[in-house]
Amino acid sequence: MAKFYQLYTLRVQIRDINPPIWRRVRVEGFESLRKLHHILQAAFGWTASHLHEFEIDDKTYAMFDLDDVLDSMDPDNTFDDRKTRLQKVAYPGVSFLYKYDFGDGWEHDIVVEKIEPIECEPDGCAHILAGARACPPEDVGGPFGYQGFLDTLRERPDSEEAKDYRRWVGEDFDAELFDRRAANATLLRMAWNRWGGK
């Protein structure tokens, strides 16, 4: 009997940022939630340097390979994101939450926009269809800190604080720029190298 594969179109948006920072991503349903985490990191431009988890239908999917995570989780309602496939937990129209960096508190709303059957074997390559605006810098302080960062650069560009920010993130940081081609190139390298599956 032939195996059945699905292709998901997901719209992912960071909460509490206006104007919105979002991506529309096409990903194979066969992928684990851990691989989806890596795909989202590449799609937005995060650096995967903090903890993450997914919340889907009142269940949490977390990093069971870390002892600190295991100690703080409810064993009856928390599952290993490495062992959970997207197609087992996500269905048309469902919304779920992706949390990244619990200190800064970045929350991403994910909506399953479309699920299509595919006949070929999965190749492990996700693709970004569209998106808007740059990813905030890591460790900027969550949505509130990011807004303060942007306000400083816009309203007091010659201040010492703004200069420190530019030294930290680079002179070429542009909050309005999303380079879809570069993000897709990263996803392609991930697929070629079979990176992000663990």
Is residue 53 within 8 A of residue 72, CB to CB? The reply is no
Q: What is the pLDDT of residue 1?
A: 43
Average pLDDT of the chain to the nearest whole number: 90
What is the DSSP track for 120-142?
Answer: SPP----EEEEEESPPPPTTS-H
**Backbone angles phi and psi of 103, in degrees to 5:** -70, -50
**Segment 1-30 mean pLDDT:** 91
Q: Which of 102, 105, 98, 96 is nearest to 143 (CA)?
A: 105
pLDDT over 70 at 9, yes or no: yes
pLDDT over 80 at 66, yes or no: no
pLDDT over 90 at 70, yes or no: no
**Segment 137-166 mean pLDDT:** 96
Domains of the chain: 5-133+178-192 (3.10.290.30), 136-177 (no CATH)
Alpha helices in the chain (DSSP H): 33-44, 67-72, 86-89, 142-155, 160-169, 180-192
157 HSE (CA, 13 A, CB side): 2
**71: pLDDT confidence band, cut at 50, 70 and 90?**
low
Rounded to whole angstroms, the Cα distance separating 182 from 186 reads 6
**Segment 94-120 mean pLDDT:** 95
Q: What is the pLDDT of residue 82?
A: 93
Tokens of 52: 């993450």
Q: What is the pLDDT of residue 69?
A: 56
pLDDT over 70 at 73, yes or no: no
As a whole-number percent, the residues of the chain with pLDDT over 90 amount to 78
Within 10 Å of residue 141's Cβ, how many Cβ atoms? 15
Note every long-range contact of 176-182, with CB atoms under 8 Å and residues 24 or more positions apart, other chains counting.
Answer: 176/133, 176/134, 177/133, 177/134, 178/23, 178/131, 178/132, 178/133, 178/134, 180/128, 180/130, 180/131
Rounded to whole angstroms, the Cα distance separating 21 from 162 reads 22
**Segment 86-109 mean pLDDT:** 96
